[in-house]
Amino acid sequence: MSVALVASVVSLVDSIDLTVLTMYGYQRHFAVVTPRNALAVPEDIAERIRSLPDTGSVYPARPAFTVVKTIFGKMPFVVFGLPPQGRAEILQRCGLRIASGRLPRDGRPEVALSAEIARNRRLHLGDVVLEPNSEDSYSLVPVRLVGTLQGPVWLATTSESFVRAHFPVAPRALVVTSRDPDRQGALDRALERAVPRARSRVWTYRALVRDTREALSSLYLILAVVIAIIVFSIAFLTGMLANIYFTQRLPEFATLAAIGWQRRALLLRVLGETALLCTVGWAVGALATVGLLSAIKSWIMHPRGLLLEPLDVAAYRFTLPLPITITLFALVAVWLRLKRLDPVSIIERRQ
């Protein structure tokens, strides 16, 4: 039960990290450069970007915005307005394909979303995604869902000409891909060095991971403290139970001591029994947790477009102190009793 408690809590907290890295995971495949205090990336910076050795394609991009619901509230999500050629390359880079419907036509109020986003927003083909009266997903005219995308990352896209016509103050960003897809990370680092931060900002996957880890560091610290309290409390309780169980087995241990067993050997026997029980208990708890989290993912999270990983290795790593600490507490409790063990008097009382 303690393994299920700790692993479930950590998995739910880790789903925040998983959600952010999945939602914005498209940054693995291309970088985005946005202007600062301007409506467009300065031309001299654009030329500098094109001159980098690893730069492949550079496409103009204009954003609209929608939201995705998560377990920690609404998160903004970019709808990339791209020209047809850029949209085709980005979809290929991200490994996305049309699951239903079609891609938006140029200049039309249409959008294509990843199927996970559509499920998260409970949208179907033909539904309005952006509209004038929406505070979270604004557009001057209603924009309808015409296609869903299937693949390893989430993406939302419309035509660049539509955004240019209906979002006059939308910043004109640049989407930058590398010549070799395997060199995208190297290009990201080169962009971060080449683009002056005072004039433009570079959005990369490496920066996303770093910012996410920094944002969640305090949460993970609190989580570690809470788990430490849980582990200590459970270990202390189990140590007391081990003391009670040892009391019930005093005649057995007294007999073993009387026939020549040393206290060290008795203590090693207790260690072996306790370690075996804790190991089996941890394994059963881990399997039960996988089943529980899989059920939660299938019945609660997935239908709502929320993310949860039942096989989160980090979550089960947090449970490893449980069997170790429980064994140590139980061993100390029994050791204190063994120090005062008088086998002769116990056997006499039994007779």
Q: Which of 198, 233, 253 is the last residue of a domain?
A: 198
Q: What's the chain's average pLDDT?
A: 88
Tell me which residue of 259, 253, 307 sits closest to 21, measured CA to CA.
307
Do 135 and 62 share a structural domain?
Answer: yes
Q: Which residues contact 118 (CB under 8 A, 6 or more apart)?
A: 124, 145, 148
Scan for tokens 């073993």, then name that residue: 256
Residue 156 within a domain: yes
Specify whether the CB–CB gap between 103 and 155 falls below 8 A.
no
Report yes or no on 184 lying in a domain.
Answer: yes
Phi/psi at 77 (nearest 5 deg)? -135, 130
Same domain, 53 and 190: yes
With b for 16 or more beta-carbon neighbours within 10 A and e for fewer, the 44-53 pattern comes to ebbebbeebe
Q: How far apart are alpha carbons 136 and 149 in whole angstroms?
A: 22
Q: What does the alpha-carbon distance between residue 341 and residue 215 come to, in Å, rounded to a whole number?
A: 54
The total domain count for the chain is: 2
Same domain? For 73 and 173 the reply is: yes
Q: What is the pLDDT of residues 146-203, one digit of tens each?
A: 999 999 899 999 999 999 999 988 999 999 999 999 999 999 999 999 999 999 999 9
Say if 262 falls within a structural domain. Answer: yes
Cβ 323 vs Cβ 232: under 8 Å: no
Instruction: Answer whether residue 22 is part of any domain.
Output: no
Residue that has been written with the tokens 């910012």 in this structure: 211
Does 236 lie in the same domain as 118?
no
In a domain, 11, yes or no: no
- Shared domain for 48 and 153, answered yes or no, is yes
Average pLDDT over residues 273-299: 90
The answer to whether residue 267 is domain-embedded is yes
pTM for the whole structure? 0.77
**Same domain assignment for residues 183 and 290:** no
Whether residues 192 and 250 fall in one domain? no
239 lies in which domain range?
212-350
User: What pLDDT, in 10s, does the model give residues 206-255?
Assistant: 999 888 888 888 888 888 888 888 888 887 887 777 777 777 777 777 77
Q: Do 233 and 303 belong together in one domain? A: yes
More confident residue, 60 or 298: 60
> Do residues 165 and 42 share a domain?
yes
Same structural domain, 114 and 251: no
Last residue of a domain, which of 148, 164, 198? Answer: 198
261 and 191 within one domain? no
| Collapsed DSSP state (helix, strand, coil) of residue 189 | helix
Q: Is position 239 within any domain?
A: yes
Give pLDDT, residue 351: 55
Residues 136 and 56 in one domain: yes
- Which of 147, 174, 198 is where one domain is finished? 198
Residue 182 DSSP class = G
The answer on pLDDT for 79 being more than 90 is yes
222/346: higher pLDDT = 222
In a domain, 31, yes or no: no
